[in-house]
Chain A
Amino acid sequence: MKRNILIIGLLVLAATFAQAQVQRGDVLIKNGTVLTITNGTLENTDVLVRNGKITRIAKGIRTPNGVQEIDATGKFVMPGIIDAHSHIAGSAINEGTSQVTAEVSMEDVVNPLDLSIYRALAGGVTSIHLMHGSANVIGGQNETMKLRYGSSNPDDLRFEGAPRTIKFALGENPTRGGRARGIQPQSRMGVEAMLRNSFSDAIEYREKWAAYNANKSTRKVAPEYDLRMETLVDIMAGEVLVHCHSYRADEIYMLMKVFADFGIPRLTFQHANEAYKVAPELAEFGAMASVFADWWAYKLEVYYSTAYNAAILTKNGVTTSINSDSGELIRHLFHEAAKTQKYGDLTDNEALALVTLNPAKQLGIDDRVGSLEVRKDGDIAIFDKHPLSTYAIPLMTFVDGVKYFDRATDKKDQRIFINPESSIADVQIYDAESQHRCMEGANVLSFSDLFKKK
């Protein structure tokens, strides 16, 4: 009996920790123009969130007892923005010690106190895909997060139930690493070989374990457990979604062939500046693309880019999102999406889907977020004007029905405590280049550096 109590006690304790301290709120957003994404635009409509979930979208909902009411008359209500490629809130980006590091995970380097999270919320963002860097061919696993800012527990920011994802990288970044270390890959040929070799190794590993499990006996020694191989096996089983850093059309096409050969159906290309050149192939394969609105020319493999990329992909039937990959751009992804109206005449709904429903599909969380629908999460952003207008200002942002940003109460000076003795203000001048964190911490030394006398 005593033992049972102890077990129950432990279970309760474990459940408390496993649940983390995630807050779920109730709110009624009244009389706004509701941009549902999946069900058109609803004028003068209310959205009710109970215990973190959208429970009703209708006109003239009566405010239930104890539910906070927000007047959105003349304002625009849209699903929280999702950034499918982010490096904010990551205290490390690259594990570059090997060309395959499938065993590591961004889960272990989440910094919940990063101020960039708050600034992203101030841009209407509610979820991010915190990605590993692009220094190696098969990088680490990523972390899909909800921006529940204010908690000091990294686990509170996890998107509970989101599928696991992993970063791959093709082209200049991994070959730069290979050249610097004097190892493979130093060319796009080497990148393909490394991918095929890794998956072939993983199949061998899987078969070894299958044979052992099929015929277990006390006299047999189990094969060595290898977390790297386990992850690759999970990728082939479709349990880990691949998000691949890529630029050129040829390397995008190459990876589709590799995945077709190894029977891996789900694939999202990240950046993919030249995806437009193989849009019919992407559509046929069912691969998706997460691209920039207009970044180009920062390296050779993005020189032949076009800002019409997202529009060409969308019109060819490829599920496309627009991402930030930047602590600056993430604050105006609605504006980045709006650029597709200049470059390719996407409709309002198509443009908004690029930063809501489509990234949700790419992360496998579209049953939870990405549109305003009953039973989906109460992740909502309110704007003063239509979010595709350059003049639109995000006013409030909710995650699970809890308000994490409100422009009306935003402070000019964010310091809680001003140290009267601090004389040196840490001033950092914005530099777009340093927003590219894809190669941060990769320690790309040249091979000869290793043997140089200091």
Chain B
Amino acid sequence: MKKLLTIMLAITLVPLLSFGQEDDQVMKARGGKFALTNAKIYTVTNGVIENGTIIINNGIIEAVGANITIPSDAEVFDYAGREIYPGMIDSGTQLGLKEIGSIQEAQDFREFGAITPHMQALTAVNPNSTAIPVTRVSGVTTALTMPGGGVLPGTAATINLFGYTPDQMFAGSKAMIMNFPSSARRGRRRRQSPEDAKKAMERALKTVNEAWDKAELYAKVQGSDEARYYPEMEALAKVVNGELPLYIEVNAAKDIINAIAWVEDRGYKNVVLTGVSEGWRVAKEIAEAGLPVITGPVQSVPTRQSDAYDAAYANPGAMQQAGVKVAIRSGDTENSRNLPYHAGFAAAYGMGREEALKAVTINAAEIMGVSDQIGSIEVGKKANIFVSTGDPFETSTKILDVYIDGYKIPMTSRQIRLYDEFLNRTPSLKKGDPVIQIKKK
């Protein structure tokens, strides 16, 4: 009996102690009917349930609340003392499109040419990218993955960070990306003379306007016998017709004002401003225009030498308090896992924890048009959730379990497996290893 108890204890403890992968054991995601009980549930949209239960069935949240009857056929996970949150959404990454930074062959987010709106990010998403498990075990369950470069680099897609094909991962929304002609420098790029910068910007704006003028014309003649198939215009016409949202990457205050005027002039619906590093300077104008914002990285240096050192940390809070709907992005790929810390810094520098949590969950979902499916813990939504030891914005917090699309995700990644292998390496040191031997000389 005692022996049996020991064995049973061992069976229950082993998976708890080692969250990585066991030797020769393949860890797979599991679907099914799950009951997550006794947890503190942050629904985001309906407050906090101190001691509640979530029923997941067929990938969907079937029930959530304090007094839920647990179905007899559900697998029960007791999360006493744990917290459950909706999966975090990183509304600006290149996950799946970029594997290694310095190697062009490992990057698929940029196509040749400045105007390539017909490029589809979703098609190039590598479901097996190493960065995907690294990201999702940190509680980020959904990401916007974006094409980049040029003026109109293509169409971005929201993806859930689990699945074996791009279509299995697709989270239900796409958006046309436009890099608004910028008066600002990016990074340490060489300074242009003000005249040259102005000329370059006017040229870029002309290119942009010509493309959209054509697209508007194309939208009018589309479908007629005279209209020839024109893939670039086909893509842009979707924005003109209001079928596809337009995300405008814009950062300098002056450019934000120009972009707002440009949007009003064109009359496009469903426009989102992204980046918006200097949003705090023109927060009132953004709020009045009624345009939502995806901003980040929050952990970044101010845009001007004369700015307060914390201008970038305080930017999301300043916009939110002016009445702008704000989502926070990491703007990163391999370190999209730091999204909760970008949110945490925004929280500390004026946004507050509750609003910062919304900025990486429900606000991101609403802005990207997928809030009927994700972004909060509500009945009928997709089971994209995570279980933690506490506040996910704190680095001392552990993410214990992640569910995506109702699948219980294996809590492993290459980085965790390397930890398991090398924490106590076998063999460690051997007699006769040169480093030891020579040192003794």
Contacts and interface: CB of A to CB of B under 8 A. Distances in A.
Nearest to B131: A297
A315 B397 CA distance: 20
A89 interface: no
A282 to B, nearest CB: 9
Contact of B299 (A253, A277, A332): A332
Given A308-B418, A429-B275, A328 B301 contact: yes
Contacts of A118: 309
B111 interface: no
Nearest to A286: B439
A341 B396 contact: yes
B349 interface: yes
B274 to A, nearest CB: 12
A390 B278 contact: no
A425 B423 contact: no
A280 B425 contact: yes
A256 B297 CA distance: 38
A303 B394 contact: no
Interface in B372-426: 393-398, 414-416, 418-419, 422-423, 425
Contact of A308 (B100, B299, B415, B439): B415
Given A428-B187, A429-B277, A253 B303 contact: no
Given A342-B397, A424-B194, A427-B252, A306 B418 contact: yes
A390 B187 contact: no
A440 B425 CA distance: 37
Residue from B197, B300, B349 whose CB has the most chain A CB atoms within 10 Å: B300
B186 A429 contact: yes
B395 A257 contact: no
Interface in B170-218: 182-189, 191, 194, 197
Interface string A391-407: 11100000000000000
Contacts of B312: 430
B229 to A, nearest CB: 37
Interface string A285-307: 10000000011111110011111
A426 B185 CA distance: 8
B424 to A, nearest CB: 8
B67 interface: no
Interface size class, chain B: 35 or more
Interface in B14-42: none
User: How big is chain A's contact interface, by range?
Assistant: 35 or more
Given A338-B395, A338-B396, A428 B309 contact: no
A10 interface: no
A263 B440 CA distance: 10
A118 B197 CA distance: 29
A308 B300 CA distance: 24
A389 interface: yes
Given A284-B436, A426-B185, A115 B305 contact: yes
A119 B102 contact: no
A219 B186 CA distance: 63
Given A281-B435, A299-B101, A427-B252, A390 B345 contact: yes
Contacts of A20: none
B348 A308 contact: no
A424 B348 CA distance: 32
Interface in A332-349: 332, 335, 338-339, 341-344
B422 A312 contact: yes
Contact of A280 (B189, B309, B310, B429): B429
A217 B254 CA distance: 75
Contacts of A296: 334-335, 415
A177 B348 CA distance: 43
Interface string B223-261: 000000000000000000000000000011110000000
Contact of B310 (A122, A305, A306, A392): A122
B303 A427 contact: yes
B184 A429 contact: yes
Contacts of B341: 335, 390
A344 B301 CA distance: 29
Contacts of A256: 435
Contacts of A344: 419
A410 interface: yes
Contact of B344 (A391, A427, A430, A440): A391
Consensus secondary structure, chain B interface: loop
A253 B309 CA distance: 41
Contacts of B252: 425, 427, 429
Contacts of A279: 422, 425
A412 interface: yes
A318 B131 CA distance: 28
A125 to B, nearest CB: 12
Contacts of A183: none
Interface stretch (A96-104, A431-439, A445-453): A431-439
B100 A300 contact: yes
Interface in B86-118: 99-103
Contacts of B254: 425
A432 B100 CA distance: 15
Interface in B325-355: 331-335, 337-338, 340-341, 344-345, 347-349, 353
B12 interface: no
A431 B253 CA distance: 17
B304 interface: yes
Nearest to A120: B309
A261 interface: yes
A430 B275 CA distance: 10
Given A429-B275, A430-B301, A281 B433 contact: yes
A293 to B, nearest CB: 9
Contacts of A414: 305-308
Nearest to A303: B100
Contacts of B415: 296, 305-308, 343
A411 B308 contact: yes
B395 A341 contact: yes
B102 A300 contact: yes
Given A281-B435, A427-B251, A434-B187, A390 B395 contact: yes
Interface of B: 99-103, 130-131, 182-189, 191, 194, 197, 251-254, 275, 277-278, 297, 299-301, 303-310, 312, 331-335, 337-338, 340-341, 344-345, 347-349, 353, 393-398, 414-416, 418-419, 422-423, 425, 428-429, 433-436, 438-439, 441
Given A296-B415, A390-B394, A429-B277, 15 more contacts: A276-B422, A279-B422, A297-B130, A299-B101, A331-B309, A338-B395, A342-B397, A343-B419, A389-B394, A390-B344, A390-B348, A410-B310, A425-B252, A427-B183, A427-B251
